[in-house]
Copies of this chain bind each other. A is one copy, B any other.
């Protein structure tokens, strides 16, 4: 067995098992709300796409040309001028491709801590060494990054700058500029993972790092604005990287499903995705507000939490010497669930932290779930 696999675990998958009992109100998942999927629109798009026999055939590794144009135009419209993208099998695959293409075994990857745990798994699988960078309510701390860059010479910085997983935090515009300058000065790659950026419920948009840094690979996804089951992501990369990434993708799966790509292209052509995202933002915003409003009566005094302007997650830290994994077992006895914070840390976990998702429950369910949680935490 490959040496890195003996240490890799599968925490996301293990956690999903927590939520399977129907009586549990789960804040543990990182799932979009299924009742908000545009099922009829997508079914019609598949039906129309499957009028053309060629959607069943092998296809170019780069992806469906119509879908690439539509995604590039959408990114351009959101303030990130884009001439082309590589379509990937979800943005998880984009992460895996970037790790394979950019990381020698032993290379250093700097990450915000805590961060998305399946990204950590990806970098571990590539044989990289992960070095955490301190962050606060404004996101990654550029001074801490400079120190890590000078001492560790990372090949790559990975971050979710907007509505981060797990913290919900957004990196400020001035910090983005400082990070772009550091990347230009020291020549490391920045991987900007942006699955949540369109899900903004308050405040105003911050320009993507990729729009001010030509050292940045930008990853996007249809999973949170469309449907994750279709496994469609995209990757916008500078310089010669796309050519290399296409070779890596060819070895990984030849190409992403021709059917799913064609259906997405039809959907984007015949439907108003902006209007759909606006509906999602209304619903998710109300759910966010319900969770934030219930928090003071749910958690003990001294608890801190993030106040996200968008995305799916609130990140909390309990006072005192507590282990949220122990509290989770008690919470499950009360039919409510969250995710303990430890797996999101690359190095030394803070066991008093945990993550709560507000997207898959209605405000009423959130109120009930928070009442159950109060019995455990207070």
Contacts and interface: CB of A to CB of B under 8 A. Distances in A.
B54 A34 contact: yes
B255 A231 contact: yes
A257 B223 CA distance: 11
A182 interface: no
A230 interface: yes
Contact of A259 (B90, B122, B229, B253): B229
Interface residues of A, number: 69
Interface in A58-109: 58-61, 89-90, 92-93, 96, 100-105
B5 A244 contact: yes
A35 B56 CA distance: 10
B231 A5 contact: no
Interface in A167-184: none
A204 to B, nearest CB: 30
Given A13-B61, A96-B252, A96-B253, A259 B244 contact: no
- What is the oligomeric copy number? 2
A56 B39 contact: yes
A228 to B, nearest CB: 5
A43 B89 CA distance: 21
Contacts of A248: 5, 125
Contact of A227 (B12, B56, B105, B254): B56
B125 A251 contact: yes
A13 B251 CA distance: 11
A345 interface: no
Contacts of A89: 89, 231, 253, 256-257
Interface stretch (A45-53, A290-298, A304-312): A45-53
B1 A244 contact: yes
A303 interface: no
Given A43-B47, A58-B228, A118-B250, 9 more contacts: A2-B102, A8-B247, A9-B247, A10-B246, A37-B56, A47-B47, A54-B229, A96-B252, A260-B260
